[in-house]
Structure 1
C-alpha cells in the first residue's frame, strides 16, 4: 500500500513538472534538466565573486553585495523558469557592474547610489519598450543573416572568456592585444585537465559531461593550490542593509549621465537579444529565420530584473551567456533555470562552497560550449558577399572589442553601410536606417566611456 502511495505521489510530481515546463514535449527529462541547471549554475558561479568585487571597487560593501547578487540570481532564474519556461540564467552582467563600480564610482567619482539609479532608468526603459512590443519588432527587423551568425559571435566570446579564465590567453599590457599565456601555470593545468576530461566524456556521450569536468577540475585544483578549501562550508549570509534601497533615482536624472544611460541600455539590449537567440538556437527553440516564438516573455523577464535589481544595489541583470553550458548539457525548459535558482538559493547558506570553485575549473565548460557554437556560421549564406561580410564583421568585432553587445551593434551598422555602398539599399528595411542613429551614438558613447 505504501509502495502504491509512493508511486502515485511520484506520478503526480511528474505530472506537475510536465504541466509547468512541458519537459517531454521538448524531448527532455527531469533528470537531464536538473543536471543542466546544476551545470549552468557552476558555469556562472564565478560571478558570485566577480560582481561583488567589481561593485566593491566603487565603495559598496562586498558582503552585502554578495547576498544581493545571489538574491537577484534566485528571483531572476525563477521568473525565467515559471513565466518564460526557458533554460536561461538571469543575473547581473559584468559590463553593468564595471560601469557602476569602476567607470562611474572609481574613475568619475559618481557615487554608486547614482550609478545604480542610472541602471534603474535603463531597466525601466527596457521594460517599457518590451511591454509596447518594440523589442520584438526590432529583433524581427534584424537581418536573418546577422541573427544566424549570432551563435558564432557569442560562441567566440564565450570560448575566449574561458581561455582567459584559464590563463591560457592573456592581454598584452602595452598593445591590449590577445597573446598566449602560460600553459604550465597551475591554473592552466587545472583548466586543461578539465578540458580533456570534458572532451573525453562528451565524446562518449556521458550524461552531465561538462558538470563532471567542472567538478573534477575543482578537485585537481586542490593539491595545486588553485582550489582554496574554505575553513567552513557553511556560513550565514551577510545582511543587505548596506546596499539595498540606497538607490538615488532622482540623482541619476542628469544630462551628464545620459551617455552612461545609453551605454547601459544599448549594450544590454543587444547582448540580451544575442544571448536569447543564440542560446535559444542551440536549444532548438528558434525557426529557420532565427526567430523565437513568444520572445517577448524572456524579454519581459530580463527587463524586469534589470529594473528591480538596482533597487537592492545590483545593476544590469540580463540573460547570461553561461546559460549555454546548461543547454549544451541538454537543458530545454524552465526546469533548468529553476534547478539553477535552487542552487543559487543554497549559496545563501553555503556561499563558501560556491566561492571555492575557481575560474580555472569553470573555464573548460566555457571553452567547450563556446567552440560548439561556432557551427552556427555555416547557416550564413557566405556566398552572398554583402550578407556574409556583415556577419563576419560582427564575429570579428566581438573578438576585438571583447563585447558581444558591441559586436552585434557593429554587425548591424556594418550591414546598413555595406548595403548602401554596394548599391543594394532597397534590401534594407526602413527601420534599419532609423536604427543606425542610435547605433552610431552607441559607438560614440563606448569610445567616450572607455
Structure 2
C-alpha cells in the first residue's frame, strides 16, 4: 500500500493521510446537506438526492485516489447544482428529468475529452505564471467563501460587502475556531486544522450554538425516484436551450476541475516542469463521476477545492481520498451526526487554507506587465465573480492580448488562442 501510493516519495504516513482525509471530508460534508436542499427545489426527491450524493462522492473519490494518486474529494458541485435548479429548471422551465439528462450527456463528453487527452493537453499548455495565478486566485476565493459562510463578511447595499456582527453566536464561534486553529498551526501542530474543527464543535455544542444530534444512526433513503431517469429522457435533450445548458455544464466543470487540480498539485508540491503528474487519470475520474452521478440522480460533480484543507492537514496521496470515501460511506448510516459540522466549523479552515494558497503568487513575475495583468485579472475576478471558471476565462482572454501587444504572439500556444476565441464567444452569448 505504501509503495503504491508513494508514501516515501511524498514524505507521508498513514496517520498523516487519515487526518488529511478526515479534514477534507469534514470540510466538504456540507454537500450532503446542501445538495439535497438545492436540487429538491427543482422537484427532485430530497432523500434520493442525499443517497445519490453520498454514493457519487464515494465512487468519485475512490477513482481519483486509486487511478491518479491525488488527495482529492469529488462530489456534486455546489455551483453547478445551483445552476441546475435556479437557472435551468426554474429559470428556463426545463423539467428536472431532462436537465439531469443534460448532465449525463455533458459527462459523456467529459469522458471523451479525457480519454482523448484534450483536457490534459489544455491544462499542460497553460503558462506557469497563470498556473500560479489560478492557485493564488482560488486561495482568495476559498478564503472569501469561508468569510462569507461565517458571516464575518456580509452583503451591504452601500459598500457591497461589510463586516458582520461579531457578537452573533455563530460568527463568534467561527472567529474562535479561526484563532485557535491559527495558534496551533503557528506553533507547528500538524493536523491543527482538524483539531480546530473538533474543538470548535465541542465548544459550539456546550454553549448551545450548535444543536446536539438527536440520534446517531439514520435510515438510508431509496434511490428509486431518481435512478436511471436519464435513459428515458434522452430523446428530449437535443433542443437549442439544452445544447446551451450542456455546454455551460461542460465549460464550468472543465475549468473548475482544472483550477482545483492545479491548486492541489501546487500546494502539495507535486507540480513538475509546469505539468501535473497523472492529470489524465485524474480528469477521467472526475468526468466518470459526473456520468455516474447523473445516473444515480445528482447534478455535475467536481473536484472539491476544500481538498486543500486536507492537504494543509498533511494529505499527500490518494490514500487520503480512500479515507474520504470511507467517511462518505459511513455518512450514509450516521447522517444525523453531520448536523454538528456546520458552516461555523468549516469556515475557519477555508480562511486559513486560502491564506496558505495565496503564497503561490510569489512565483509570478510581477515585473513584467504582460504577465502581471493577466495573472492579476485571473486572481481578482475569482472572488469578485464568485466563480473559478470565470476568473480563469477572463485571465486567459487578457494573456494573448498583452503578449500580442509586445509582439510575443509566437510564444503563445495555439490552444491559448482557441480558448481566447471560445471564452469571448461564451461571454457574448450569455450577456
**1:13: which partner in 2?**
none
- In 2: Cα distance, 1:222 partner to 1:89 partner: 27
Asked if the contact 2:57–2:75 (Cα under 8 Å) also holds between the matched residues in 1, the reply is yes
**2:125: which partner in 1?**
141
Asked if the contact 1:263–1:446 (Cα under 8 Å) also holds between the matched residues in 2, the reply is no
Residues 1:404 and 2:388 are matched in the alignment: yes
**1:4: which partner in 2?**
none
**1:263: which partner in 2?**
248
SS at match of 1:373: helix
SS at match of 1:348: helix
Asked if the contact 1:386–1:419 (Cα under 8 Å) also holds between the matched residues in 2, the reply is yes
- In 2: Cα distance, 1:176 partner to 1:245 partner: 47
Residues 1:78 and 2:62 are matched in the alignment: yes
Residues 1:227 and 2:203 are matched in the alignment: no
**2:427: which partner in 1?**
443
Give the alignment's TM-score, normalised by structure 2.
0.96
SS at match of 1:18: coil
Residues 1:153 and 2:145 are matched in the alignment: no
Choose which of 216, 228, 235 in structure 2 pairs with 1:250. 235
**Where do residues 326-341 of structure 1 align in structure 2 (5 Å cutoff)?**
326-341=310-325
**Where do residues 45-444 of structure 1 align in structure 2 (5 Å cutoff)?**
45-172=29-156, 174=157, 177-247=160-230, 248-289=233-274, 291-444=275-428
Asked if the contact 2:22–2:323 (Cα under 8 Å) also holds between the matched residues in 1, the reply is yes
Deviations 1:199-241 (CA, angstroms, capped at 9, x unpaired):
1111122221111111111122224443122221110111111
Asked if the contact 2:47–2:221 (Cα under 8 Å) also holds between the matched residues in 1, the reply is yes
Deviations 1:41-68 (CA, angstroms, capped at 9, x unpaired):
0010111111111101111111111111
- In 2: Cα distance, 1:152 partner to 1:315 partner: 28
Give the alignment's TM-score, normalised by structure 1.
0.92
- In 1: Cα distance, 2:258 partner to 2:385 partner: 18
> Cα RMSD between the aligned structures?
1.5
Residues 1:41 and 2:31 are matched in the alignment: no
Change over 3 Å in CA distance of 1:295–1:232 after alignment to 2: same
Deviations 1:179-198 (CA, angstroms, capped at 9, x unpaired):
32222211111101111110
> How many pairs does the alignment contain?
429
Q: Which runs of 5+ in 1 are unaligned?
A: 1-16
- In 1: Cα distance, 2:406 partner to 2:338 partner: 52
